[in-house]
Structure formats: C-alpha cells, structure tokens
Amino acid sequence: RPYPHQVLINLLGQVENRGNSEARKSARSFLAKLVNKPQVFGVAPYQESFISKAGHYSGTGVDFTADGLLKPWLSISARGGGLLESNSLISEDVLPYGVRLERDMYHHGDEAKIGNFEANPALVSIVAFGTEEFYFQTGFNRTAFGPFPGDSVVVSEDAPHAGHFSFTWNGETANFTKLLLALTAQRNSGTGVYNQKYLSLTSLDWQFAPWGQIGYVGSIVYGGYLDPVYFIPLTDLMYMTLLQGDKSNSHIGFYGSLYLPAYLTWDLIFYADDLHFNDIVTFNWNTRWKFVLQSALSWS
C-alpha cells in the first residue's frame, strides 16, 4: 500500500459484480469518484490537536489535493498544504506514548513564527504507471506492507513518509513486489538528519487454494551507498550474506491468510532479524535472534 487507482477500480468492479446490495452501492459510489471524475482538485481544512501530561499540540491548516486517473495507465494522488503548529511539549516534537500525528511536516529549523505558532509545509504524493496487473509507483508518502490494515511489523503506515519506488506484479494466484524506500537517518541521540539510508524489500506470495494464501518477505536496511544489486529480485539476502559479510541489517519472514467459514479471516506475519542458516543447521541456539509474530482474526 498505497494501492493505485488502477488496482482500486478493478477491486471495486469485483465488489460491484459480486457483493450484496449495500456493498454494490458503496462500490458504485467510489467508482464514480475514481472514474467519472478522473481529475479532482480540491481544498479542505485540516485540524489536529491533543492534550496530555506532557503538554499540548495543535495543528491547523489547509490541504490542497490532486487525485485521479489521468490516463488508463497513469494515476496520481497528492496532498500538500501549510500548517500552523502550536507545541508546548518539553522535548520539541516528541509525542506522548501511543500518539502519532496524521500529517508529516518538514521541520527545517527556520520556520516562520506567527505568534505562538510555527508555519510548516506538508506534502505527500504518489504516481503510478501501468495496469492493475503490472505497475510502477514512485512518490514521497507513507508506505505499508502486510495483511493488516492500519498496522504492520514489516513496514507500517504509522512510519513517517519517505521516498518510494516500487514495482508490483499481480497475477491470478501469485503476486510479487519489489520496494525501495529512501529513509532519513539520525544519530542515536536523535540529532542531525542524513540521507543515503535505504530499505530494500522483496515479497512473493501465492494463493494455493480459495481458502488460503502464503508468502515470503525479505528486507535489508543499509546506508552510505546505493547498491544497484539490491534492485535484482530475490537476490538481496544472498548477495548481502555471501558477498558483503552481513554488514547490513537484514530481516526475513513469512506471512499468510486463511479464509475461514462464517466470513472470518486469520492473518499472520512471522518476521525474524539476522536469522543465520549455519546456526540453524548446526542446532546452535546460543544466538541473539529476534523474532516478532503478528496475528489477527477479523470478520467482515
């Protein structure tokens, strides 16, 4: 995620053909916005605030949006605007536990002051080229990966926006994604901002039956250089392990979904950090492996 208009139009068309009356009505409403109004430019106010023991935060501004299918093979989604922020938090922009702002702002250290407010720009954008089967996306936006809407242990939409480059193939029973995110690096103290930090992710999944799907995901975080080998599908981990000596941060995992009776769905992600093959085959358990398991049961 995000899904381009080409994919959304195809999915909504399936709902319109197969869903119940209420679902078909909703699908037609969304399709009208995506298809009948291919270029939508709008202006909307934005306001977000919270109060906690750490202090208060308030952000008020205006969003300018451009959203639509410009050609059958080209879509765009963009949102930009300016925000006036008032922040009494002791540690600048450190939010209370569990709080995440909806907007990603550019705090460049030279903000315009208007009374007790600071003026900051905010911009996200994504452009997609292709069809619902093959498409390439690039932009500056939040990205999410995995079967859990709103959260993921792999790449979460709660993470700030980043430079996004991805290629996706959606087959009838299999799907492939190659993703590169250009991240922002900081010192451990949280000071300073640096570029040349990247996340390279590869995923491949297969729907083995109408009631189940399983997939593989591998990712590498590296920095200081941009290695073109990481663009080659399904070679990331082998290249890093055999030719680079594990100098980057690698993760590997599996995910899947089971479509159960009574409209239930069970989703699962298993994700591991620095999983060494030699330790596994020699039964060496004296390691510092780190695992995470995310699971959810949903009904719809």
Structural contact between residues 64 and 82, judged by C-beta atoms closer than 8 angstroms: no
| pTM of the predicted structure, to 2 decimals | 0.81
pLDDT for 225: 78
pLDDT, tens digit, 9 for 90 and up, residues 9-18: 888 888 888 8
Cα 289 from Cα 135, distance rounded (Å): 36
The pLDDT tens digits for 154-205 are 888 878 888 999 999 999 899 999 999 998 877 666 566 677 889 999 999 9
- pLDDT above 60: residue 92: no
Tally the C-alpha atoms within 13 A of residue 75's C-alpha that lie toward its C-beta: 24
Query: Would you kindly state where each structural domain of the chain is located, as residue ranges?
Result: 142-300
Distance between CA atoms of residues 145 and 151, nearest Å: 9
Closest CA to 163 of 132, 188, 141, 136: 141
Which among 77, 75, 74 has a CA at the least distance from the CA of 66? Answer: 77
pLDDT (0 to 100) of residue 183: 87
130, 6 in Cβ contact below 8 A? yes
On whether the CB atoms of residues 215 and 202 are closer than 8 A, the answer is no
- The per-residue pLDDT of the chain, averaged, comes to 80
Residue 224 scores a pLDDT above 60: yes
